[in-house]
Amino acid sequence: MSEKLRSDRKGHCFTFRAFGMGLSRCPNSLKLVLSLVCDCHRLPSSSVLFDSFGINPNCQAYWSAIAGILGTSVYEVNFLYRPGWYQLGHAYMKTLLRNHGIVHRFDLKLGKIYNFSQKYLFSSNGHFSDSKGKVVPFVDHDIPESSMKFEGTRQVVDEICDILESSSWGPSLENSLLERCGKPQPESVIRVLRRLKDVSLAVNYFRWSERQIDQAHCPEAYNSLLMVIARSRNFDMLEQILEEMSVAGIGPSNYASVELVVSCVKSHKLREAFDLIQTMRRFKFRPAFSAYTNLIGALSTVHEADLMLTLFHQMQELGYEVSVHLFTTVIRVFAKEGRVDAALSLLDEMKSNSLGADIVLYNVCIDCFGKVGKVDMAWKFFHEMKAHGLRPDDVTYTSMIGVLCKADKLEEAVQLFEQMDLNRTVPCAYAYNTMIMGYSSAGNFDEAYSLLERQKKKGCIPSVIAYNCILTSLGRKGRVDEALRIFEEMKKDAVPNLPTYNILVDMLCREGKLEAALQVQDAMKEAGLYPNVMTINIMIDRLCKAQKLDAACSIFEGMDHKVCTPNEFTFCSLIDGLGKQGRVDDAYRLYEKMLDTSKIPTAIIYTSLIRNFFKCGRNEDGHKIYKEMVRQCCPPDLMLLNTYMDCVFKAGETETGRALFKEIKAQGFSPDVRSFSILIHGLVKAGFAHETYELFYAMKEQGCVLDTRAYNTVIDGFCKSGKVDKAYQLLEEMKTKGHQPTVVTYGSVIDGLAKIDRLDEAYMLFEEAKSKGIELNLVIYSSLIDGFGKVGRVDEAYLIMEELMQQGLMPNVYTWNCLLDALVKAEEIDEALVCFQSMKDLNCAPNQITYSILINGFCRVRKFTKAFVYWQEMQKLGLKPNTITYTTMISGLAKAGNIVEANRLFERFKASGGIPDSACYNAIIEGLSSTNRAMDAYMLFEETRLKGFKILSKTCVVLLDALHKAECLEQAAIVGTVLKEMAKSQHASRSW
């Protein structure tokens, strides 16, 4: 290509000239083209340059050179040669050249300019200069014009701006503009827009001037309007303006697109900046290279990896060259988030683009992959960089040492450290600090102290950072006295800083040594360091966790708010601490005080208040807090909604809990595994276990990864809804997924199996849990005792009870009742009495169910007198008999012939508000009939029918016989009819 260009010049000599910024970095072909253009005083059209030589239209050197030729800025010429509107560019070029007094002949088809005036030469910085070498400066972004015309335009612009700022937009202001300034000119419109700050005013003026001119605005006017939007950071009208530009075939300049994105970034509206770029792409615009890189850099600070990757791929689609540095930025975020596959994929992509990784990228990979636990991957990068001829630097070694220390691979870290430190005259302080921290974290304090001495011998004084690492680890190990000794030794080498004192205050408060912490605080002041808000927060937080709330409140009240103002964390720690101790009113008063100080409560504070109000049983106040949060326009987070839903379900408000689960989705969140676990647990507890199956599959479809807690919740729901086989399958799935079943898991499945009499399987799981070293609790033992007892396997129930006590567990009243019930049903009443006595000897107080079981047992073996004795004993203890106890006792007294006492007991039961059941009515009717009280029995018979209770055939036969004996023939006929109907019904059911 170079040879062709040279031949076109017919043997003339050409030299390369650099015009504008960055030309030296352009391809040789571009350098030659630009040199030829300048030598010939020709300006080829963009179609010639782009199509013939494939030059990137965003190449800074190309536009800088053209700017140098015209004596104007890159910004102004950047939009001149965009596909689809060359005519506008050529027209504007004529204006530029005419303003310079340049005689020209313009060929639109070929886009060439001839016969430039010799009045001007071109300086290396891209400005015009006269023949004497004097530079003629031009204002950046301004259209060159004669001084007289410039002065006139400026006066017009000043007057227009004065009118616009004088009042709000309306017909009167429009009339003033026309009367005083006349019809607006394109140049004045552009200058006015550049000076306006209010978007609404700028848009109104833009629309009005367009109507007055009766033609579409030029690209510069549109770009000036975009700059107003960028400066004001008000993007409401942006999409509409971009759409208009798209229809008109006008694109935002690079400068404007960058400023729009940077404006969003400065306002921390990163999502809006991302959407802005997508809007530009939707309208087929090409956002500037810097717009992408600025936004990717900003997104990297908030770890928005997916958005970064989208922008990164868009840059590649647009033909932008992405550097190793840009790859490094994106890879770092993916690696820090633990998304290893995505990060490795980007690395492969970078290599496929023939980009070689530099030492910075390797260091980033070692650090990030290592910190997410991929130590082998970090080692791979460490060795790979050496294989590619890159020498590990101090950052490489220090990062790798830190990774190994964090992974508890201390020996490997020591070997690498020694390899690095070998033959070094000046030790690397960062590596020493990292190794000292590694030793300290592992509890090897002697080695850490030895390393400090070694550092001193090499002539390097240990820094305050090294000592702070040791002090932090000593505090975590609870070695407070040793930490105070090291603190005193530290003063010989390094001056303690504020973090040093904060570390000491933290560890002393953790140990409950408040006086010592206050002494350290005084020592801090003597050293010229004053406690900052972090110091106060540490003391308040640790004291709250140690339940020393009065001391925490005292520190808070003693804060000098002029010197050290409490922040959100200060209030949050104290509000939560007070709430957890039941002092919810004090917590709420502190919340109100926070509002008075203009601090904005976070979702964490509202979460604490809601949880603690519900915990204290003040459910209505908990609901009010949520409503107040909504009024304060504080957006809830997922943790708050989950906590609120959990509290509501525990308070028995099932429907409200369901509504809150829907609210999670309404707020734009996806319910996580905890959300589903809370919902399932709440519904199971409320008796809706049958819904577990549907919710479980909804959770799976949403992609929730179940943790141990979620598995336990779902398994419990399946067991309680009778889907024990499904629960068993989940137990096995849990193991294959790497989640170890807990005592809760085994307890749910064992109880579920025991309830459906699959006791052998339940016992096998019981033995499996023991073999895995799981400490079984009383609930599991009680489930097995109850299960074996109900099927009459009393000996096995007894053996489990003995094993329970051998394990050091004490049976509770439920466990004893399960065993007593099994013995009574087996009619081993004497053994039941022995068991009952053991229960009392072990200080386990019997309850009404215990006595009901015994009374029922005595009645079963017709020991009614003994049953009555326990009935009286029960009442002496203040235990109120329930319906079962009354029924059992009434039936027993009636069968024993003591009908007077049975009837009296029956009437007393009804008078006390008790509701007799069918068994109770049948027993008393039979008793009255047996003692020749036929009419009394018949009256109860009618009452029983009226209440809809079932009357047994045996009861009817006994009553019918008694009525015949008493010659109550009419009543006997009714009872006989009922008896016949019952017989027909039974016959029909058998036939069916």
pLDDT tens profile 83-130: 333 344 444 444 444 444 433 333 333 333 333 333 333 333 333 334
The owner of tokens 């904060």 is 502
Measure Cα distances from 314 to 58, 82, 83, 306 in Å.
16, 20, 20, 12
DSSP single-letter state for residue 25: G
CA distance 600 to 586: 18
CA distance 176 to 159: 10
CA distance 161 to 174: 12
CA distance 624 to 75: 57
Angle at 648 between CA 647 and CA 651, to 5 degrees: 85
End-to-end CA separation in angstroms for the chain? 102
Q: Which residues of 849-881 are buried (b: 16+ CB within 10 A; e: fewer)?
A: bbbbbbbbbbbeeeebebbbebbeebeeeebeb
Angle at 222 between CA 221 and CA 225, to 5 degrees: 90
Angle at 245 between CA 240 and CA 247, to 5 degrees: 95
686: left (phi over 0), alpha (psi -120 to 50) or beta: alpha
Q: What is the pLDDT of residue 1?
A: 39
CA distance 716 to 722: 10
Task: Residue 131: count other Cβ atoms within 10 Å of its Cβ.
Answer: 9
Which two structure tokens, joined as six digits, stand for 870? 């326990």
Q: What is the pLDDT of residue 653?
A: 92
Contacts 24+ apart (CB under 8 A), 795-800: 797/822
Q: Is residue 295 within 8 Å of 270, Cβ to Cβ?
A: yes
| 942, part of any domain | no
Q: Is residue 640 within 8 Å of 622, Cβ to Cβ?
A: no
| 681, part of any domain | yes
Rg (C-alpha) for the chain, rounded Å, is 44
Q: Is residue 804 within 8 Å of 815, Cβ to Cβ?
A: yes
Task: Residue 175: count other Cβ atoms within 10 Å of its Cβ.
Answer: 10
Domain total in the chain: 1
Q: What is the mean pLDDT of the chain?
A: 79
pLDDT tens profile 768-798: 998 988 888 999 999 999 999 988 898 999 8
CA distance 420 to 440: 20
Q: Which residues of 558-573 are buried (b: 16+ CB within 10 A; e: fewer)?
A: ebeeeebebeebbbbb
Q: What is the pLDDT of residue 65?
A: 52
670: left (phi over 0), alpha (psi -120 to 50) or beta: beta
Q: Is the dihedral of CA 842, 843, 845, 851 positive or negative?
A: positive
| 674, part of any domain | yes
Q: What SS3 state is found at 106?
A: strand
Q: Which residues of 227-246 are buried (b: 16+ CB within 10 A; e: fewer)?
A: bbbbbbeebebbeebbeebb
Of 706, 718, 645, give the one whose Cα is nearest residue 673.
Answer: 706
Angle at 764 between CA 762 and CA 768, to 5 degrees: 115
Q: What SS3 state is found at 128?
A: strand
The owner of tokens 């050293």 is 527
| 622, part of any domain | no
Q: Is residue 323 within 8 Å of 331, Cβ to Cβ?
A: no
Q: What is the pLDDT of residue 555?
A: 82
CA distance 799 to 717: 30
Of 2, 51, 43, give the one whose Cα is nearest residue 19.
Answer: 43
| 158, part of any domain | no
CA distance 503 to 471: 7
Q: Is residue 543 within 8 Å of 549, Cβ to Cβ?
A: yes
Give the residue numbers spanning the domain of 642: 636-706
| 686, part of any domain | yes
Max Cα distance, the chain (Å): 148
Given a cut of 50, the residues of the chain with pLDDT beneath it are 1-63, 69-149, 989-992
Q: What is the pLDDT of residue 649?
A: 93
Of 877, 886, 959, give the one whose Cα is nearest residue 920.
Answer: 886
DSSP single-letter state for residue 167: S
CA distance 408 to 403: 9
Task: Residue 158: count other Cβ atoms within 10 Å of its Cβ.
Answer: 13
Q: What is the pLDDT of residue 986?
A: 62
| 818, part of any domain | no
Which two structure tokens, joined as six digits, stand for 953? 């055939």
Q: What is the pLDDT of residue 77?
A: 46
Of 950, 907, 911, give the one whose Cα is nearest residue 928.
Answer: 907
β-strands 112-113, 121-122 pairing: unpaired
Q: Which amino acid is at 265?
A: V
Q: Is residue 199 within 8 Å of 169, Cβ to Cβ?
A: no
DSSP single-letter state for residue 77: H
> What are 122's strand-pairing partners?
128
Task: Residue 343: count other Cβ atoms within 10 Å of its Cβ.
Answer: 25
Q: Is residue 627 within 8 Å of 644, Cβ to Cβ?
A: no
Q: Is residue 705 within 8 Å of 736, Cβ to Cβ?
A: no
Q: What SS3 state is found at 107?
A: strand
CA distance 898 to 67: 120
CA atoms within 13 A on the CB side of 858: 22
DSSP single-letter state for residue 129: E
- Which residues are CB-contacts of 925 (< 8 A; sequence separation ≥ 6)? 937, 940, 941, 944, 951, 955, 958, 959
Say how many residues make up the chain: 992
DSSP single-letter state for residue 689: G
Q: What is the pLDDT of residue 588?
A: 93
Of 409, 375, 378, 372, give the one whose Cα is nearest residue 396.
Answer: 378
Q: Which amino acid is at 112?
A: K
Q: Is residue 196 within 8 Å of 202, Cβ to Cβ?
A: yes
| 643, part of any domain | yes
CA distance 701 to 689: 20
Task: Residue 51: count other Cβ atoms within 10 Å of its Cβ.
Answer: 10
State the pTM of this model.
0.56
Q: What is the pLDDT of residue 987?
A: 54
Q: Is residue 343 within 8 Å of 359, Cβ to Cβ?
A: no
User: DSSP per residue over 244-284, as a string?
Assistant: HHHHHT----HHHHHHHHHHHHHTT-HHHHHHHHHHHHHTT
